[in-house]
Each structure stands twice: as C-alpha cells, then as structure tokens.
Amino acid sequence: MSFKKTAETLREGAHTLERDYYINPQILIMEYNNIFLNNWICAGRSSELSKNGDYKTVNIDTESAIILRDSSGNLKAHTNVCRHRGTRICDKLSGKFSNSIQCGYHGWTYNLDGELIGAPHMDSVNNFNKKDYPLHSISIAEWEGFIFINFKDHPEKFENTFSPILKKFENWDVSNLISLETKTYNVAGNWKLVIQNYCECYHCPILHPELAAITPYLGGLNDMHSGPFLGGYMNFSKDKKSITESGELCCPPLNSIDKVDLNRVYYYSIAPNMLISLHPEYVMYHTVWPNGVDKCIVNCSWLFNEDVIKSGNYNTSDAVNFWHKTNKQDWHISELSQLGIQSKKYSPAPYSGQESLLAAFDQHYKDSLKG
C-alpha cells in the first residue's frame, strides 16, 4: 500500500531512523506518552456503536478508554477506571450497557454520561458527594464516520488539528459507507515499520507485482508532503479500473466522486495511527496500535455503499482478497525489517527519491516524540 515519492521533495541528507527507535523500550514509553496519549487517534467507526448503550474499549499502554453511545445517542468516551479503588471496569473489547456502567469490584455505578449514581455504603462517609466522583471524560470527535479520541486533558480542538483534511474526502461520502469486513493482524514488528511501508511504493515491483501491474509505482503525485497528513494518488494502468484481483471494479463506482478519480487510488497516512485508501468504488482503512517495542496490532476494514452490501450482487471479495494478500506481504516484510534492524550491524542509510514521505514521516514523528 503505497504511492509515488517525488525526488524533488526529498530532504537533503534524509536517512532511515536510527536502530534505537525500533528496539528501545524507553522510546516506546515516550511514544505512548507524547504521541498516542497526546494526540487525536482513530478508534474505529461510529457505526460500530449503532445503538444506545453499545460500547467498545481502546487500550493503549496503561490507559484504557470506554467509548459508548449514551442514552441520547451521542458518542462519549470515559477513562476505564473506577473512581473508588481504580479498578478497570470493562475488560471486554465490546459489549452493551443497559442504562448504567457498574464496576465489578464494589458495585460503584455510573450512568452513560459517566456520573456516579450508586456507591454502596458510602452514605456513612462524612461529606461524600457522588457528584465529586464521575468517570474521567476523554475528548471524542467524529469525522467522516470515524471515531477519534484524545487522552490529553485539554487537547487542541479536533477541527483545528484536522483542518487541512476536514473536507478533503467528502466526494467519497465516507461517513455513509458501511464496513463490509474487518481483519485483525498481529505483526511482529515495530508500529512505525507498518506506516513507513505504507508510505512508499519503492518496494512494489518486487514485493507486490500484482499491485504494480494495476498501479505502476512511478505514476502519481503526492499533494501532502509534511506534518501529520501525508499522501497523494497513484494512477491505474490503462487496462485496469480498480485494485482488485481482477483489476476491474468490484461494484459500481461511488456516486459522488469526480470523473478524474475513476482512474486513481488515493493513499494517506493520518498520524499517528490511521491509514486511509480511497478507491473508485470502496474505501479501505487501517489502524495501527503498538503492542510492545517489536510488535503491533493492525486492523483493516473495507467500506462500501450500504446498497452494495445489502444487495449481495457484487463480488466485493475481489477487493478484500486482493488487499488481504497484499497486507500479509507487507506485514511479512515489516517483520523481516524488525529482525534486521535488531542486528548491531544495522545503521541508517540514505532514503531514495521514492521515499520522500518516509523522511517527512520521520521528521513529524521526531518532533512529536519531544512532546
């Protein structure tokens, strides 16, 4: 999954990251604190929480969030920590609350807004007031049907942070697309390797010959070259219409996309953990989660028009199967990269002219790591 890197945007002297960034547990702690717990991170689709009381949990290092749809149908996020003795309340990845959230230790109970409504035997404690002990709230935003959360106490407004791309993908009507399928991959490699791999197609002719036949790796242009949003488009070969096993559209194109986009696929990385790929007839996205210094979890979902999914008349598996195979190729090479970088003989080498976005990713990453 990648796109052309233009030589003219490659920073002079740009080189791969030093070994420590992939193997040092202390750097991972800095990444958790200064990047993943300090920025807006993608936590899936709002359609996962379709009914009031539906919830999911997101765990990052020592922190955990409960994301739910409250009794009014609004998205909320709370820290997954009981205010009594600090017990983690939800230990499942998803589920449904009735009208309240109860800690399984001593029965402290909260409404879906996070307010404490029940605290057994606390009425005998002088000056105890349930209003003083709500669940800690976590900032939450919805964009194009995606959920974003921010663990920081007073984060920059989502609209300000995402202003460069707030309306960039509106022609795909992503907010109204439905998830057809989600696959979860456990990758034995540092999370950055997955994102860096996505941000270049230098490897495509060797690793993905089928993909290179659909989108020649030298065809396309990047339109976002620095900061948290990186990417651009690649052109289809003249005899190809989409990225599928057949190279044909697997269903009708999305109604609202421009004519020029019928001949392109767009790839963007959205720091720190989201990758979005926009095709003429479907959208694919990944979320990437560190799971140790040398492991990560990658979730990949394919989004289609609801009518396409309900009809059952289209070969949507043509897209899913192609990318599932490509994903596994990418994860395998990322794992080999992790093994090689662990060697004491590894040292940084210059980026090629086809890897300018990797240099841009590295620069933003290092800036963010400072906190």
Is the pTM higher than 0.85? yes
160 contacts: CB under 8 Å, gap ≥ 6: none
pLDDT score for 371: 79
How far apart are the two ends of the chain, measured CA to CA in Å? Answer: 29
Identify whether the C-beta of residue 320 lies closer than 8 Å to the C-beta of residue 279. Answer: no
How far is Cα 335 from Cα 343, in angstroms, rounded to an integer?
13
In the CATH scheme, what is the code of domain 41-159?
A: 2.102.10.10
pLDDT at 301 exceeding the cut of 80: yes
How far is Cα 42 from Cα 35, in angstroms, rounded to an integer?
13
How far is Cα 59 from Cα 55, in angstroms, rounded to an integer?
13
Selection from 367, 360, 314, 349 nearest residue 19 by Cα: 349
Domain boundaries, the chain: 7-37+170-369, 41-159
pLDDT score for 221: 94
pLDDT score for 218: 87
pLDDT score for 7: 40
List, for residues 178-217, the tens digit of each pLDDT value: 999 999 999 999 999 999 999 999 899 999 999 999 999 8
Pick the CATH number of 7-37+170-369 from 3.20.20.10, 3.40.50.1110, 3.30.465.10, 3.90.380.10: 3.90.380.10
List, for residues 307-356, the tens digit of each pLDDT value: 999 999 999 999 999 999 999 999 999 999 999 999 999 999 999 989 99
pLDDT band at 249 (very low <50, low <70, confident <90, very high): very high
Identify whether the C-beta of residue 333 lies closer than 8 Å to the C-beta of residue 197. Answer: yes
